[in-house]
Amino acid sequence: MRLELIGINHQTSTVDIRDRAAMGQDDIQINLNNLVEMENIDGAVILSTCNRTELYVSPLQHHSENAFRSLFQSLTRLTRPEVDSAYIYRDEKAVGHLLRVSSGLNSQMIGEIQILKQVKDAYHLALNNHSTNSILNRMFLKAIECGKNVRHRTRISEGSVSVASAAIELSNRVFGSLDNCNVLLVGAGETVRLAAKFFGNAGVESWRVSNRTKTNAASLSDNLGGNVVEFPPTEIDVGWADIILSATSCSSPVVQEKTVFNSSESSNKMQLFLDLAIPRDMEPGIKDLPNNFLYTVDDFKDLVAANIESRQGEAIRAEKIVDKLIIDFSKWYQENRISPTIQQLQSVLETIRIEEVNKNVGRFQVEDRDQVDKFSKSLMRKVTSLIIGNLKRASREKDDVKLAKALTIALSSADNTNVNEVLEQLDNEFSHRSTP
224: left (phi over 0), alpha (psi -120 to 50) or beta: alpha
Asked if 160 contacts 299 with a C-beta cutoff of 8 angstroms, the reply is no
Q: How is residue 282 annotated by DSSP?
A: B
What top-level class would CATH report for the domain 4-158?
alpha beta
Q: How is residue 244 annotated by DSSP?
A: E
pLDDT for res 435: 42
Instruction: Label residue 411 by pLDDT band (50, 70, 90).
Output: confident
| pLDDT of residue 436 exceeding 50 | no
pLDDT for res 352: 84
Looking at the domain that runs over 163-303, which CATH code has it been given?
3.40.50.720
Q: Is 50 a catalytic residue?
A: yes
Rounded CA-CA distance 229/232 in Å is 9
Q: CA dihedral in degrees (76, 54, 198, 294; nearest 10)?
A: -90
Q: How many other C-beta atoms are found inside a 10 Å radius of the C-beta of residue 120? A: 16
Asked if 430 contacts 405 with a C-beta cutoff of 8 angstroms, the reply is no
* Burial group, residue 298, by CB count within 10 angstroms (0-12, 13-18, 19+): exposed
Asked if 28 contacts 48 with a C-beta cutoff of 8 angstroms, the reply is yes
Q: Quick check: pTM over 0.75? A: no
Give residue 275's identity as a one-letter amino acid code: D
* Burial group, residue 5, by CB count within 10 angstroms (0-12, 13-18, 19+): buried
Residues with Cβ within 8 Å of 380's Cβ and at least 6 positions away in sequence, in order, are 349, 350, 353
Q: What is the mean pLDDT of residues 369-393?
A: 84
Cis geometry, peptide bond prior to residue 81 (ω within 30 degrees of 0)? no
DSSP codes, 63-108: PPHHHHHHHHHHHSS--HHHHTTSEEEETHHHHHHHHHHHTTTTSS
pLDDT for res 389: 80
3-state secondary structure of 53: strand
pLDDT for res 207: 97
**Three-state secondary structure readout of 117-173:** HHHHHHHHHHHHCCCCCHHHHHHHHHHHHHHHHHHHHCCCCCCCCCHHHHHHHHHHH
pLDDT for res 242: 96
Residues with Cβ within 8 Å of 293's Cβ and at least 6 positions away in sequence, in order, are 174, 270, 271, 272, 273, 287
Mean pLDDT value across the chain: 88
Rounded CA-CA distance 286/313 in Å is 38
pLDDT tens digit sequence for 353-375? 888 888 888 888 888 888 888 99
Q: 38-42, 91-95, 330-334, 399-403 — which is least confidently predicted?
A: 399-403
pLDDT tens digit sequence for 230-274? 999 999 999 999 999 999 989 899 999 999 999 987 677 899 999
- Distances from the Cα of 288 to the Cα of 168, 183, 261, 273, angstroms: 22, 21, 10, 12
Share of the chain above pLDDT 90, in %: 58
pLDDT for res 157: 82
Q: What is the mean pLDDT of residues 27-45?
A: 96
pLDDT for res 284: 94
| pLDDT of residue 428 exceeding 70 | no
Nearest to residue 181, comparing CAs of 296, 257, 271? Answer: 271
Q: For the chain, which residues make up each domain, given as ranges?
A: 4-158, 163-303, 337-434
Residues with Cβ within 8 Å of 206's Cβ and at least 6 positions away in sequence, in order, are 180, 181, 182, 183, 226
Rounded CA-CA distance 69/80 in Å is 8
- Identical fold for domains 4-158 and 163-303, yes or no, is no
The Cβ-side half-sphere exposure at 348, using a 13 Å CA radius, reads 19
- Distances from the Cα of 325 to the Cα of 12, 55, 95, 138, 404, angstroms: 26, 21, 9, 12, 26
Task: Specify the higher pLDDT residue, 379 or 88.
Answer: 88
3-state secondary structure of 414: coil
- Helices 369-397 and 402-411: crossing angle in degrees, nearest 10, is 150
Q: 216-230, 260-274, 324-338 — which is least confidently predicted?
A: 324-338
pLDDT for res 399: 62
Do you know the residue count of the chain? 436
Q: Kindly provide the b/e burial profile for residues 323-337, where b requires at least 16 CB atoms within 10 angstroms of the residue's own CB.
A: eebbeebbeebbbbb
Instruction: Label residue 163 by pLDDT band (50, 70, 90).
Output: confident
Instruction: Label residue 155 by pLDDT band (50, 70, 90).
Output: confident
pLDDT tens digit sequence for 279-302? 899 999 999 999 999 999 888 877
Rounded CA-CA distance 284/255 in Å is 10
Nearest to residue 122, comparing CAs of 42, 44, 41? Answer: 44
pLDDT for res 392: 74
| pLDDT of residue 121 exceeding 70 | yes
pLDDT for res 103: 95
Asked if 297 contacts 278 with a C-beta cutoff of 8 angstroms, the reply is yes
pLDDT for res 413: 65
Q: What is the mean pLDDT of residues 152-158?
A: 88
pLDDT for res 298: 84
Q: How many other C-beta atoms are found inside a 10 Å radius of the C-beta of residue 164? A: 24
pLDDT tens digit sequence for 57-116? 999 889 999 999 999 999 999 999 999 999 999 999 999 999 999 999 998 778 888 899
